Chains A and B, each alone.
Chain A
Amino acid sequence: MAATQEEIVAGLADIVNEIAGIPVEDVQLDKSFTDDLDVDSLSMVEVVVAAEERFDVKIPDEDVKNLKTVGDATDYILKHQG
């Protein structure tokens, strides 16, 4: 069953917490991964791989650069999840 927007944000919050140590409540739709959440380019790869697994979605490398904010990633997953 496809995840809701709320479930995706919560899932991304868990992933970002695990990888960057940011409190889950700070992971909001308008937050930038690099500027607000301490996710650098290498850690972004980890976030993407963890999200792919969790939400059964493929995020090709060329699309990763467009995922600047938690909202960008959430919309992408909503649209592409299997």
Chain B
Amino acid sequence: MSSTNRTVVVTGIGATTPLGGDAASTWEGLVAGRSGVKPLEQEWAAEQAVRIAAPVAVEPTEVIPRPQARRLDRSAQFALIAAQEAWKDAGFEAKAGEDSSVDPDRLGAVIASGIGGVTTLLDQYDVLKEKGVRRVSPHTVPMLMPNSPSANVGLAVGARAGVHTPVSACASGAEAIGYAIEMIRTGRADIVVAGGTEAAIHPLPIAAFGNMMAMSKNNDDPQGASRPYDVARDGFVLGEGAGVIVLESAEHAAKRGARVYAEAVGQGISADSHDIVQPEPEGRGISHALQNLLERTDLDPAEIVHVNAHATSTPAGDIAELKALRKVFGDDADHMAVSATKSMTGHLLGGAGGVETVATVLALYHRVAPPTINIENLDPEAEANADVVRGEARKLPVEGRIAALNDSFGFGGHNVVLAFRTV
């Protein structure tokens, strides 16, 4: 096998999300069509135009010992919880080196977030103003730096082949996983722990996104507010959490007899070069990413039966993506069950690509596509371009090799498409 084009597989999965404190409970919530959105009860929420969000189901401080938790930003806490679950799920008993089946020099970590340690930055600024210079935590910088989740996960698993943090707003988590696939494919590493995390439920990001008119103001119906593809969709609902997977060269996984969830076929990447926040309305950039995926991999569109869409529940973005799928795949788009899991988890920004990759891989593994909830009136443009899984989960073909895509797009015009298939 060529050392520059190695097959990559997924051998471990972890998550902490608005639907559950681990990947299994998250998956259960997704298949059941459960919403993780709640009213914001904090005092500061009263004056906000947006008073709903999707907080994690299990507080990280219930999982991570206090001395460790107090020196980690919430986004790094989520990443660490998801990474430790994925690491254990992949069959490792200790960090690299201590577990002799992993060579630290061949292990990497790539965890991304869209905004980084924003709550640490803002909380410590409050401390500075209210209590003075001396009281600002000496842990502030290592907590707020955007590479903190990646670095802390790298430390936890003992990664020495490289620790990276690609940043591309809401495409960050997917870009991290794409980067990790390349690290293994090109021979830089045998195993990479990869994913996305975000913790931005704080008055400033909510005020800012709210003023951009990007968020749903459907405060009266929290669970029904995130409604991708519905004609009345009015913006995303902010979620938080992390999704992390363990990627491994197929050869390394086979040698240690690891369970393989799916093959990570590869990625397609493009940039819109259109607007700093608005998606290109015809989905040209997304089409370009999908074409890039087909050019760079041996993926057969006939095998793609499921798409975990980016679909955040914004009026413009949801349809542009479906148009691109139709444009690139033509009639093959007819057999792609499209799910917008953000209808249940909310939008985890840089965490979305991680959590939705977990959902995509589990959809292939269990051969079930989770639903898009809250569609009362399907947008005719969605109906014309795609087969949206509405209301209830749908079984995928029980036999033969099947593939699925996870789309993630970010402010700045970043487009990342990841492809997985059964083994």
Residues of A within 8 A of B (CB): 19-21, 38, 42-43, 45-46, 49, 52
A-B CB contact pairs (8 Å), 5 listed: A19-B67, A42-B138, A42-B139, A43-B138, A46-B139
User: B202 an interface residue at 8 Å Cβ cutoff?
Assistant: no
Quick check: is B274 within 8 A (CB to CB) of the other chain? Answer: no
**Chain A neighbourhood of B139, CB < 8 A:** 42-43, 46
Query: CB < 8 Å: which of A21, A45, A49, A52 contacts B65?
Result: A21
Give CA–CA (A42, B138) in the complex, Å.
Answer: 6
Q: Is there an interface contact between A20 and B138, defined as CB atoms closer than 8 Å?
A: no
B66: Cβ under 8 A from any A Cβ: yes
Q: Please give me the 8 A-B residue pairs with the lowest Cβ-Cβ distance, nearest first.
A: A21-B67, A45-B138, A42-B138, A20-B67, A42-B139, A21-B66, A49-B134, A21-B65
Chief secondary structure at chain A's binding surface: helix
Contacts A38-B67, A43-B71 given; 9 further ones with Cβ under 8 A?
A21-B67, A42-B71, A42-B139, A43-B139, A45-B138, A46-B137, A46-B139, A49-B135, A52-B134
Cβ distance A5 to chain B, nearest Cβ, rounded Å: 25
Residues on the A chain within 8 Å of B65, using CB = 21
CA distance A33 to B310 in the complex (A): 49
Min Cβ gap A56→B in Å is 14
B70 at the interface (CB under 8 A from A): yes
**Residues from chain B with Cβ under 8 Å of A49 in the complex:** 134-135
Chain B interface residue count, CB cutoff 8 Å, equals: 12
Question: Which B residues have a C-beta under 8 Å from some C-beta of A?
Answer: 65-68, 70-71, 134-135, 137-139, 142
- B131 — nearest CB in chain A belongs to which residue? A53
CB distance from A51 to the nearest CB of B (A): 12
Nearest chain-B residue to A22 (Cβ)? Answer: B67
Query: B66, B68, B138 — which one has the most chain A CB atoms within 10 A of its CB?
Result: B138
- Chain B residues within an 8 Å CB radius of A46: 137-139
Please report the C-alpha to C-alpha distance between residue A19 and residue B137 in the assembled complex, in whole angstroms.
12
> How far apart are A39's CB and chain B's nearest CB, in angstroms?
10
What residues on A are CB-neighbors of B66 within 8 Å? 21
The CA-CA distance from A20 to B70 in the complex, in Å, is 9
* Chain A residues, Cβ within 8 Å of B68: 21
Most buried by A among B65, B66, B67, B71: B67
What distance in Å separates the Cβ of B62 from its nearest Cβ neighbour in chain A? 15
- State A20–B65 Cα separation when bound (angstroms): 10
Q: Smallest distance from the beta carbon of B247 to chain A beta carbons, Å?
A: 32
Q: How far is the CA of A47 from the CA of B71 in the complex (A)?
A: 14
B143 to nearest A CB, angstroms?
Answer: 10
Please, which residue of chain A has its CB at the minimum distance from the CB of B141?
A42
Smallest CB gap from B70: residue in A:
A19
- A42 CA / B141 CA spacing, docked (Å): 11
In the bound complex, CA of A21 to CA of B416 (Å): 42
Shortest CB–CB separation between residue B180 and chain A, in angstroms?
30
- Chain B residue, CB-CB nearest to A44: B138
- B14 to A: closest C-beta gap in Å: 24
Tell me, rounded to whole Å, the shortest Cβ–Cβ distance linking A36 to chain B: 15
In Å, the complex CA distance between A43 and B135 comes to: 13
A77 to B125, CA, bound (A): 29
User: What's the Cα separation between A42 and B142 when bound, in Å?
Assistant: 10
Assembly CA distance A38 to B71 (angstroms): 13
- Complex CA gap A42/B137 in Å reads 9
Residues of chain B with a CB closer than 8 A to A43's CB: 71, 138-139
A49 vs B137: C-alpha distance when bound (angstroms): 9
A45 to B140 Cα, complex, angstroms:
12
Chain A residues in 8 Å Cβ range of B71: 42-43
For B134, the chain A residues whose CB sits under 8 A away are 49, 52
User: Whole-angstrom distance between the alpha carbons of A28 and B66 in the complex?
Assistant: 21
List chain A residues, Cβ under 8 A from B70.
19
Cβ–Cβ < 8 Å partners of B138 in chain A: 42-43, 45-46
CA distance A16 to B193 in the complex (A): 33
CA distance A38 to B70 in the complex (A): 14
Contacts of A19 in B (CB 8 A): 67, 70
The CA-CA distance from A43 to B138 in the complex, in Å, is 7
Across the interface, name the chain A residue whose C-beta is closest to B69: A21
**Complex formed: what's the CA distance from A46 to B143 in Å?**
15
Closest to B137 in A: A46
Given the complex of chains A and B, what is the CA–CA distance between A19 and B69 in angstroms? 10
Q: How far is the CA of A46 from the CA of B362 in the complex (A)?
A: 43
* CB nearest neighbor in B for A42: B138
Q: Which residues from chain B contact A52 at a C-beta distance below 8 Å? A: 134
